[in-house]
Amino acid sequence: MALPKLEELSRSVAEGPSMATGAVPTRDWMDIPVVFKPGNYAYPAKKDKVEYLNSQKGLSFPNARVWSPEEDDWKLPENWKDIILNGLKERLDKFRSLKIFMDCCVRCGACADKCHFFLGTGDPKNMPVLRAELLRSVYRNDFTWAGKLLGKMAGGREMTVGVLKEWFMYAYQCTECRRCSVFCPYGIDTAEITMMLRELLHLVGVGINWILEPVSNSNRTGNHMGLQPHTFKDNVEFLVDDVERLTGIRPNVTFNRKGAEILFVTPSADVFAEPGLYTAMGYLILFEALGLDYTWSTYASEGGNFGLFTSNEAMKKLNAKMYAEAERLKVRFLVGGECGHMWRVLHQYMDTMNGPADFLEVPRSPITGTVFNHAASTKMVHITEFTADLIRNGKLKLDKSRNSHIKATWHDSCNTARAMGLLDEPRYVLDHVVDWVEMPENTIREQTFCCGSGTGLNTDEIMELRMRAGLPRANAVKHVHDKHGVNMLACVCAIDRATLTSLMNYWNPDVRVCGLSELVGNAIVLDGETREELDDGLRTL
Ligand code: SF4
Ligand code: SF4
């Protein structure tokens, strides 16, 4: 579906009749059915991908088939309703948080206007409180006395095909960013409710391809793109060639090397697509400057974990491969590259799923001696923490003027900011490598706005929805672009680098997107280098 012109979309968001612009709905939300049409849903998962996943040990993805959201008949299993209700019961018993989130919302509305999907679409069902109510209403009806006795009067409603379709629509209009939970006085995490909705939908074979294909690829070859080991290795070596061409220094890289001190794992997008490639060149320059004893792996060739957007089982399985590889290679600890959800999984779920990783050592920087005690359980340090520590201890030779063509601003990626508290380290690094400014206060740090296309929604068929959902972020960037001449949006998330590039191309075409390590790589002065003036840093090719 063609993307509307910018003026048209801006006018529609600001003036179109919606809850966000003051219109009052004339019907009860329960009486408004969802209508699927091209552009408002992501394509269903391909049959062969679902079949493959369902055949894998530890995973369950039943009811593989060809189906379309636009058709009335979704080809659900005959007993689909029992499957859903039993699945909900099982999860209420297993996850105490879910039971609490179902019971404790007081409908205060503090979260209502905090979601970028609501701000961009004006659709009341995109208010976090109402998104959760889509599940809560069924919970009330079937799992509480009030609901069983009073039904709709107690906010309950029966599970129907219409409700299931509504779940599909709105579970995939939430990027699990957790911004709403920052404002909820009870700490209700709507992202976790969305995760449960997606899990329940998978029980009856309802899922999207842009998530299940990467999950399937990661399970099969180790990374989202489905890159074979030799291709992954070749791609890294191409980047080594590029660094040598630009600096005269050829970074030393090894793959699957047993006995290395550190295993480095990063999103495969870093070695596959722009602008991640420049971030990966930044890593190579940094590690070369330090003479770090590290190795890449062609097996654990993906830091990202689309299992987070799918099911707890898939998340656990994909997370485990990094640790299996660390054990096989007998490294001391892991350093992880710039990724968002990889770190959310690590900080919020890894310990209960696969941890603690006691066969590894508590990370200790071999360059500065700093012990990263906060990683005592996961044994994995974020590249930004690692770099900030190096700068603080004076271990890097930096020439900030090499980034003088850049005026940057900082996007706190939802997962690194809200899920792991990586707030000050990137800012400290930025201070030392580039001239930069902050975006407005209520759009940064814990209150950061999502890119609008996370959790596997980075797919072209829903581009208008993505541009709407990303508008609050784009608007804040526009503010610093107009006021301070910002021309670069920096972040530490591979999904963000991809999604923000589309977002900027649409809303702020003068602003490019980069990873933090690209800026670091631009600024590092390597011993013996023959680097000429690079007008565009590592992008000068
Ligand atoms: S802020 Fe929390 S308690 Fe208030 S309506 Fe939203 S989810 Fe419910
Ligand atoms: S987690 Fe993010 S996308 Fe989902 S409802 Fe909350 S604010 Fe919206």
Residue 296, classed as helix, strand or coil, is strand
- What is the structure's pLDDT at 186? 95
Q: How far is the CA of 458 from the centre of ligand 1 (A)?
A: 28
Write the pLDDT tens digit of every residue in 33-83.
Answer: 999 999 999 999 999 999 999 999 999 999 999 999 999 999 999 999 999
Q: How much helix, strand and coil, in percent to the nearest 5, is found in the chain?
A: 55, 5, 40
The dihedrals phi and psi of 378, each to the nearest 5 degrees, come to -80, -25
Quick one: which ligand is closest to 192's CA? 2
Distance CA 301, CA 40 (A): 33
| C-alpha distances out from residue 301 to 6, 219, 223, 319, 345, Å | 38, 11, 6, 12, 16
Pick from 88-97, 229-238, 254-263, 341-350: least confident: 341-350
Number of H helices, E strands in the chain: 23, 8
- What is the structure's pLDDT at 432? 98
User: Which of 129, 174, 189 to mutate for ligand 1's pocket (most ligand atoms within 8 Å of CB)?
Assistant: 129
Whose Cα sits closest to atom 3 in ligand 1?
A: 105
Quick one: which ligand is closest to 191's CA? 2
Beta-bridge mates of residue 382: 336
User: Which of 97, 105, 193 to mutate for ligand 1's pocket (most ligand atoms within 8 Å of CB)?
Assistant: 105
Residue pair 396/350 in contact by the 8 Å Cβ criterion: no
The tokens of 245 are what? 């061409």
Residue pair 246/534 in contact by the 8 Å Cβ criterion: yes
Instruction: Answer yes or no: is the C-beta of 186 below 6 A from any ligand 1 atom.
Output: yes
Average pLDDT, the chain: 96
- What is the structure's pLDDT at 17? 75
Q: Quick one: which atom of ligand 2 is closest to the CA of 189? A: 1
User: Does the predicted model carry a pTM greater than 0.85?
Assistant: yes
Write the pLDDT tens digit of every residue in 317-373.
Answer: 999 999 999 999 999 999 999 999 899 999 999 989 998 999 999 999 999 999 999
Q: How far is the CA of 473 from the centre of ligand 2 (A)?
A: 14
The tokens of 163 are what? 């409700």
- What is the structure's pLDDT at 455? 93
Residue 449, classed as helix, strand or coil, is coil
Q: Quick one: which atom of ligand 1 is closest to the CA of 109? A: 5
Q: Which residues line ligand 2 (CB under 6 A)?
A: 114-115, 117, 128, 131, 174-180, 190-191, 194, 450
Instruction: State the alpha helices, DSSP H only, in 330-382.
Output: 341-344, 350-353
Whose Cα sits closest to atom 2 in ligand 1?
A: 184
User: Which of 101, 108, 190 to mutate for ligand 1's pocket (most ligand atoms within 8 Å of CB)?
Assistant: 108
Average pLDDT over residues 395-420: 97
User: Which of 130, 183, 186, 194 to mutate for ligand 2's pocket (most ligand atoms within 8 Å of CB)?
Assistant: 194
Quick one: which ligand is closest to 450's CA? 2
Average pLDDT over residues 364-388: 97
- What is the structure's pLDDT at 18? 81
Quick one: which ligand is closest to 118's CA? 2
Average pLDDT over residues 237-248: 97
Total residues found in the chain within this entry: 541
Tokens 């959201």 belong to 69
Instruction: Answer yes or no: is the C-beta of 129 below 6 A from any ligand 1 atom.
Output: yes
Best CA proximity match to 151, nearest among 142, 160, 162: 142
Determine if the peptide bond prior to 33 is cis (ω within 30°).
no
Is residue 250 pLDDT above 80, yes or no?
yes
Residue pair 502/487 in contact by the 8 Å Cβ criterion: no
- What is the structure's pLDDT at 427? 98
- What is the structure's pLDDT at 21? 81
Is residue 14 pLDDT above 90, yes or no?
no
Tokens 């044994």 belong to 379
> What number of other Cβ atoms are within 10 A of residue 353's Cβ?
16
